[in-house]
């Protein structure tokens, strides 16, 4: 995806404006999030074969059996973060890099983890070459987080976990929010707030469908 010539013209901008309006019509009312989505060319983050579908509100396949989340899900999770500019955020599950780009456009300091080396490599190239803000990519096991740069004001997980990983809770700053889909067949979107060291409050925010959150690192096949 990153190797092809990238363009972004008035036609794409028109598609994004219509997408933003569709998200607003579905109840997304965080104007900062909507503005960020309006600035990120989603068609750069999908396979060329799916580029004509990039601005439909739907998930699309990306390599390694993964998906790029539908824009509504990206907007919903981003809004749940209630993040303020310059906060430090850990994203678990870089995938194509689209969600990380949106977070970068929100003015956040983004540390994003990917376990699949081919996805990590392509996302890192794309995110580094384009102006999406302060985004740093790491090839890591998301279950372990990234403690060296913690604690984090916000943590966002973009894959379905059977339960909230303790390692991620331990890297959440007091006053911070962790947004994560939890469940097997369908997932509940949870927002976990750290109210004081070792004490958390959990809220449920509807049901969603994500690919599974898996452990370990998968290297490039040679």
Sign of CA dihedral 50, 111, 176, 35: negative
Rounded distance, CA 83 to CA 90, Å?
A: 12
Lay out the sheet containing 172-182: strands in order across.
135-139, 109-114, 88-92, 152-157, 172-182, 187-196, 199-208
Active site residues: 69
Phi, psi (degrees; rounded to nearest 5) at 83: -85, 145
DSSP string, 114-170: ESBHHHHHHHHHHHHHS--SSEEEEE--GGG--GGG--EEEEEE-SBBSS--HHHHH
CA gyration radius, the chain: 16
DSSP string of 156-182?
EE-SBBSS--HHHHHTEEEEEEEEEEE
């Amino acid at each position: 995806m990153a190797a092809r010539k990238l363009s972004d013209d008035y036609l794409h901008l028109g598609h994004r404006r219509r997408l933003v309006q569709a998200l607003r019509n579905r109840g997304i009312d965080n104007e900062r999030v909507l503005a960020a989505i309006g600035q990120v060319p989603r068609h750069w983050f999908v396979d060329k074969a799916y580029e004509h579908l990039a601005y439909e509100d739907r998930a699309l396949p990306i390599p390694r059996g993964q998906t790029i989340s539908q824009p509504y899900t990206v907007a919903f999770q981003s809004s749940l973060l209630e993040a303020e500019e310059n906060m430090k955020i850990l994203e678990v599950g870089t995938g194509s890099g689209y969600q990380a780009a949106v977070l970068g456009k929100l003015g956040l300091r983004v540390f994003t983890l990917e376990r699949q080396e081919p996805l990590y490599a392509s996302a890192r190239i794309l995110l580094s070459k384009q102006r999406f803000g302060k985004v740093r990519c790491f090839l890591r096991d998301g279950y372990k987080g990234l403690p060296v740069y913690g604690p984090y004001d916000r943590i966002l997980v973009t894959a379905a976990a059977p339960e909230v990983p303790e390692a991620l809770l331990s890297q959440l700053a007091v006053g911070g929010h962790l947004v994560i889909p939890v469940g097997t067949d369908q997932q509940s979107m949870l927002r976990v707030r750290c109210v004081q060291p070792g004490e958390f409050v959990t809220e449920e925010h509807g049901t969603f469908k994500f690919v599974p959150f898996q452990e370990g690192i998968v290297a490039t096949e040679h």
